[in-house]
């Protein structure tokens, strides 16, 4: 009589070895797969919007500087000078 445990254990052993080999291959691929460089915001799809925002920040800074100069000039005028 054939022992059913030997039949099933042999099949499971082959399946388990196959699963273990697949896990090892997956881990090696994950470890040695080259990393993709992460693009900066300027290089991504929102790059044009970022550039427009930087230009707007420059315009805003120029406007604030002009307001500050105007206020200084008005204070100088108010002081009599």
Domain that holds residue 65: 39-81
pLDDT the model gives residue 25? 96
Alpha helices in the chain (DSSP H): 4-32, 47-78
Task: Indicate the SS3 state at residue 53.
Answer: helix
pLDDT digits (tens, 9 = 90+) for 23-42: 999 999 999 988 888 888 88
> CA-CA-CA-CA torsion for 8, 10, 16, 18, nearest 10 degrees?
-120
Q: Please check whether residues 49 and 80 belong to one and the same domain.
A: yes
- 10 shares its domain with 24: yes
> Do 79 and 53 fall into the same domain?
yes
- Res. 2: pLDDT tops 70: no
- Examine the domain organization and report whether 46 and 65 are in the same domain: yes
Say if pTM beats, i.e. exceeds, 0.75.
Answer: no
The mean pLDDT of 57-69, rounded to a whole number, is: 96
- The terminus-to-terminus CA distance of the chain in angstroms comes to 118
Look at the chain and report how many structural domains it folds into.
2
* pLDDT at position 4 over 80: no
Answer whether 41's CB lies under 8 Å from 50's CB.
Answer: yes
43 and 81 fall within a common domain: yes
Same domain, yes or no, for 28 and 45?
Answer: no
């Amino acid at each position: 009589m054939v022992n059913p445990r030997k039949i099933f254990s042999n099949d499971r052993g082959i399946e388990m070895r196959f699963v273990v080999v697949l896990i090892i291959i997956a881990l090696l691929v994950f470890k040695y797969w080259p990393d993709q460089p992460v693009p900066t915001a300027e290089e991504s799809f929102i790059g044009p919007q970022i550039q427009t925002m930087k230009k707007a920040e420059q315009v805003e800074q120029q406007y604030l500087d002009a307001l500050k100069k105007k206020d200084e000039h008005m204070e100088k005028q108010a002081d009599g000078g």
